Chain A
Amino acid sequence: MINRYVFGLCALFVVSACDISENEVEPSESFLRIYDNNTFNSSFTPIDVQQTTDGGYLILGGTRVEDSDFWGVYLMKVDEQGLFISEENLSTEYVSPAKSLMNINGTFYFMAMTDISWQANLFALNDSGRVSTITPLPGRFYPMYCEADGETIIAQTYNNGSKNTNLALISTEGNILNDANFTIGDGDDTEEPIVTHFTRTGRQLPFFAGKVDNGLYYFNGFYDFTLSTIFTDLSGNNEDGVVGRLQGFRDEDGMSSAIHLGAGRFAGSRFSNGDNYILPGVDVNVTRLTDIPTTETFEGNPFPELVRDAPVVVKQITVDERNVVLYGSNTQSGQIVLLAYSSETGQLLGTKYLGFSNPYQLASFNSTEDGGLVVLGNTAVAGRFARFCLFKLSIDELRGFTE
């Protein structure tokens, strides 16, 4: 009888004590960092994050500028554990950094504009987060979005003089390889939301762009008075270069994100009068979409958990050699939510919430070399100071909601 108790007690101890030997994790695998500045009036807004070759991270963001309506360009380098290393503040001259921060052959690029003239510029950064070159892009203003396409850059800009959206292919040296203008139309109805987007005094509009595997390009921007998703061959053969169009309704209804998964299949999200809908896998014939309203084309899964007109980031990532469509957005409870869907079936695989106590908002996320995920957002420290925050999820944490 006693032996049985002794055996049971020993077994209990051995099983329980396993957590001591397993209580180890590399500090770089999983962390949360909030980058605090103790200057009362300082304020930061994050744009994008990329991992550098040394395992650290490069963060692109904006900081409030006293004598400008726009947010200045602000860069930060942190190490592999997310600890602050250096910063570079370009806000005295350059403002309104646009999504995204691109990694092209080991050099990082982004776009921002010159204060006062609103001239768009292409910035090249080294691994340390220092600006190596700044190339003005003639005739391009108000950079809205940029995306790497191999060794070229898809750049979406806005010209408030001619009232058009411009989509261009740009080399990393800043040469315009191809472009097309898309007429917005006269009037101030679209000017106000665009300007408040840039000054961050209003809603952040869901500008994005990309390339389809049939050679077409797409962007989400203003065209013909509405915020629409335009498919174009940039040839100008069609009217205004438009091949297909998912038509929104002013800036109240349209797509909030989209990526091309291949073979006419897209994943994205849409908004309609503040409501949000997830479209984890839809087939789109991009050449037969002319003037089709977005709401009639895609129903999607309603997602009332998200804030009104939620900014949505969607990317296809690889987890253990499986393709997963990962959405990120902001919940009404002040957390960042990540939703993983199967690329093949569009089935929800799992969700993960990031952030406690303070409100958190998503800026961007990217895969990391160790198979994990880095998520950039902002939070209000002490309920009032806008600061960058960086979540690093380990591969195990990522598996936890993507399997």
Chain B
Amino acid sequence: MKINIFALALASLAVMLGSYSEGQAQFKGKKRKNGYNSRKPLDNPFLKSQWWLGFRAGANLTEADPQERYSGFSPINYTTEENQKEYGGFEQLGGHAGLEITYYHKGFSFSFQPNYRRQRFLYSNSFLWSDENDASNRLELNYDQDHQLDYIEFPLFVKYDFTQNTFRPFVQVGVYYAILTSANKSVEVSGADFASGDLGPFENEEVIIGAEDLFINSSIGVAGGIGASYDVQNTRLVFDVTYRYGLNNVTDVQNRFSENQLAGIGDALDDIHLRNISFTFGLLFPLRFISKKYDAIN
């Protein structure tokens, strides 16, 4: 399944670039033979196509979806659920920026949008040690762990524009493949140590550790979203909201325990799939001008 989607992405990319080559040849051929404005403009299929190149940037929110849970602790006299991780849902703001190259033809577009993105997710868990004979013998610890995953992502979308006007709402679906470039996790420890005479909660300094070995390099998934573009002179402003649905476990299962510097506090990454909502603004430029009479927007 994963490989099929991956293959589909590659095939789509090849088709898109193939179309580009064909379009270029057609363009050059027409130019040599008759000139591109020799036919009635609206009937000319060449004029129904356009290439766009531009920049994209935005913010994103990520949630980790645990598929199978793991813990470094195996409790003797309490249940594992008592200190199980609680995941935050789309809480930590990340960012992304990249390029977009889009081939448009008759309302449909193939869009390749390579980008560098930081995705963040968090979870927390709590531990309690107490003494039923002495209430002052009590220690509460809470661990809040924020994960930052930096990826170079290669998404490929198929878009459909609902209108052919200046303002164009669209939907897009696609696939993505991302390569991990770095990963960190930060841990905040808080709690209450009544046994040491503490009367209230304490909060320790945040600890940041490298976590690259805890995640595999690849992340693949499918994506879908909605958006709209607005043409301003010969440029196009784009805004879209896209949901990414990860299809593979991004945790490195072989290093789950052996390379985890937080194993001593019982931490072990679950098998997780990433879910992400991205809000993106883009500014696109046409790669060719159709005529002096007709501007670049088709």
Tell me if chain B binds chain A. yes
Chain A residues proximal to chain B, CB less than 8 Å: 2, 6, 9-10, 13, 16-17, 19-21, 23-25, 30-41, 76, 78, 82-84, 87, 355-358, 360, 379, 381-382, 384-385, 391, 393, 397
- Give the shortest distance, in Å, between B49 (CB) and chain A (any CB): 17
- Give the shortest distance, in Å, between A332 (CB) and chain B (any CB): 17
CB distance A23 to B216 under 8 Å? yes
**B interface, size bucket:** 35 or more
CB distance B74 to A382 under 8 Å? no
Complex: how many Å from CA A242 to CA B6? Answer: 73
CB distance A357 to B263 under 8 Å? yes
CB distance A23 to B261 under 8 Å? no
Which residues between 146 and 166 of chain B lie within 8 Å of chain A, taking CB atoms?
154
In the assembled complex, 5 residue pairs joining A and B whose CB atoms fall closer than 8 Å, in A order, are A6-B17, A19-B218, A36-B73, A36-B74, A40-B129
User: A40-B129, A40-B139, A41-B137 known; A33 and B72 CB under 8 Å?
Assistant: yes
Which of A10, A24, A78, A385 makes the CB contact (< 8 A) with B74?
Answer: A78
CB distance B261 to A84 under 8 Å? no
Which residues of chain B are near A35, meaning CB under 8 Å?
Answer: 73-76
Which residues of chain B are near A41, meaning CB under 8 Å?
Answer: 131, 137
CB distance B257 to A40 under 8 Å? no
User: A2-B20, A20-B218, A357-B262 known; A382 and B257 CB under 8 Å?
Assistant: no
User: A6-B17, A17-B6, A40-B130 known; A32 and B216 CB under 8 Å?
Assistant: no
User: A16-B217, A20-B218 known; A38 and B78 CB under 8 Å?
Assistant: yes
Listed residue (B20, B74, B266) with the most chain A CB atoms within 10 angstroms of its CB:
B74
Which residues between 246 and 298 of chain B lie within 8 Å of chain A, taking CB atoms?
248-249, 251-254, 256-258, 260-266, 268
CB distance A38 to B74 under 8 Å? no
**Majority SS at the chain B contact face:** mixed
Which residues of chain B are near A30, meaning CB under 8 Å?
Answer: 254, 256-258
Complex: how many Å from CA A40 to CA B132? Answer: 9
- Give the shortest distance, in Å, between A313 (CB) and chain B (any CB): 20
User: A16-B217, A24-B253, A78-B74 known; A357 and B138 CB under 8 Å?
Assistant: no
Complex: how many Å from CA A393 to CA B254? Answer: 10
Which residues of chain A are near B138, meaning CB under 8 Å?
Answer: 40
B59 CB within 8 Å of chain A:
no
CB distance B262 to A356 under 8 Å? yes
User: A32-B258, A40-B137 known; A23 and B76 CB under 8 Å?
Assistant: no
CB distance A32 to B72 under 8 Å? yes
B192 CB within 8 Å of chain A:
no
Listed residue (B137, B177, B257, B264) with the most chain A CB atoms within 10 angstroms of its CB:
B264
CB distance B13 to A6 under 8 Å? yes
Which residues of chain B are near A39, meaning CB under 8 Å?
Answer: 77, 129-132
B2 CB within 8 Å of chain A:
yes
Complex: how many Å from CA A19 to CA B214? Answer: 13
Which of B253, B265, B268 makes the CB contact (< 8 A) with A25?
Answer: B253
